[in-house]
Chains A and B, each alone.
Chain A
Amino acid sequence: MDYIVTLLVKNGLIVAFLVVGVLMVVADLISEKATRRMLPGSAIAIFFGLCLAWLGGWLTGGNKGLADVKALSGFELMGGPMLRDFTIVATAMGVSFSVIRRTGLAGMLSLVLGITLTFASGALIALAMGYTDARSITTMGAGACTFIVGPVTGTAIGASSDVIANSIAAGLVKSILVTIGTPLIARHIGLTNPSAAMVFGGLLGTTSGVAAGLAATDPKLVPYGAMTATFYTGLGCLICPSVFYVIVQALA
């Protein structure tokens, strides 16, 4: 038996690829059969990931989630900052300069407004819930933006792992809420044309939620919303650990 575990540990990254792949197939199936695509497969898979992280912590008493299970230690590399940042940067592919120019002022305005408003309200909630140090408050505010801005910010400014996990959970709640809420609320907020979709993508920003929500509202709107939403995470990763962190530090 020992040699099997040794084999799995030696090929940790490959094991992680397999496990995540299977997890996502299952999540996609559940999304299709049980929720009729109301919940995107990716949101379900991320939720499963968080559940497994809890399970890993419960089984081993460690603080690295599933990676504390010896045979699954490869998760630490696959879910670590290097591959995470690398794949996030890759999503900028397909965003062109001419598109940026066309998105123009309203898109920029909605991006800046969306990130600022979301960060500020998230940080205030963190403060109200008893967080007092600047690192945790900033990380929670960033987590309210997306489940990527939170951990990227938290890692950059050195927040603790449980705060980072909380920020991911906040981003996940947001993604699911946007996915489910968008089709229900679309008409009431005038989300019926491409320009409104661009503003929407900039304000909400969580790419998977925006794309899934718009797809359920009107598939023609998806690229317009995703277009501005793509910038949200990058801009959030730029502003949150820098400008916003300095501001929170000055206020806290």
Chain B
Amino acid sequence: MIELLNSTNNAFYNSIILQFNHSENMQIRGVALLAGCFLLGQLVGETLGRLIGIEANVGGVGFAMLLLIAAQHWLEERNQLGPAVAGGILFWSNLYIPVIVAMSAVQNVRLALSSGLVALLAGTIPVALCFALVPVLTRSMKKNNPPEWTTS
């Protein structure tokens, strides 16, 4: 029954794909998919925030990313993720650094500079700790993982 349902769904979907294959409407599908994952993730984050009683969006971005990865995997398995659809998402992915640049340009840096040392320390000490942890984890991993893990 489920198989039947899937096959009819696929046939339906394929007919749509065929219908629009030569149109220029593929990229907006990627953008819409991204927007859908984004909104759903934010909704989950807002809801979770209310449920645990902090008036905040809890991990909406993280949930949206997980949704997008799942959606992408689902579409890839069905060969529905063409380069044009993916392009609609990748365009926004490539805008990530510029948007971060704009974001840093609207921060209250003037105020932040009065306590500049904290940023310097919080940016360096954790990095030093993590650098030191790399060989420890790599060594423990070599013992525990199957051979294909340790490519030489």
Number of residues from A at the complex interface, CB < 8 A? 112
Which single residue of chain A is at the shortest CB-CB distance from B113?
A54
B4 at the interface (CB under 8 A from A): no
Instruction: Tell me, in angstroms, the Cα distance from A200 to B137 when the chains sit together.
Output: 9
With the chains together, A101 CA to B145 CA distance in Å? 13
Complex CA gap A174/B120 in Å reads 9
Residue of A nearest to B57 (CB): A156
Q: By the criterion CB–CB under 8 Å, are B126 and A121 in contact? A: yes
A residues less than 8 Å from B38 (CB atoms): 85-86, 89
8 Å CB contact of B54 from A157, A193, A195:
A157
Contact indicator per residue, chain A 31-63, by CB within 8 Å of chain B (1) or not (0):
000000000001001101111111011100001
Interface stretch among B8-16, B17-25, B84-92? Answer: B84-92
Which secondary structure characterizes the binding site on chain A?
helix
Give A22 to B143 CA distance when docked, in angstroms.
50
Contact across chains for A21 and B98 when beta carbons are under 8 A apart: yes
A90 within 8 A of B: yes
User: In this assembly, does B101 line the interface, its C-beta being within 8 Å of a C-beta of chain A?
Assistant: yes
By the criterion CB–CB under 8 Å, are A147 and B106 in contact?
no
Q: How far is the CB of B70 from chain A (nearest CB, A)?
A: 8
Cβ contacts under 8 Å, A50 to chain B? 104-105, 107, 109
Contact of B149 among A76, A114, A156, A195 (CB under 8 A): A195
CA separation between A143 and B89, bound complex, in Å? 26
Which of B56, B103, B118 sits near A166, CB closer than 8 Å?
B118
B76 to chain A, nearest CB (A): 7
Q: Provide the A157-177 mask, 1 if CB < 8 A to any CB of B, else 0.
A: 110011111111111111001
Contact partners of A148 in chain B: CB under 8 A? 100
In contact, B107 and A161 (Cβ under 8 angstroms): yes
What would be 16 A-B contacts, judged by CB atoms less than 8 Å apart?
A45-B101, A65-B107, A83-B99, A87-B99, A106-B141, A117-B130, A122-B125, A162-B112, A174-B127, A189-B131, A196-B138, A204-B131, A234-B61, A237-B61, A239-B59, A242-B52
List the 10 closest pairs (A to B, CB-CB), nearest first: A173-B123, A238-B62, A57-B110, A238-B59, A162-B111, A79-B102, A49-B104, A169-B119, A79-B103, A165-B112
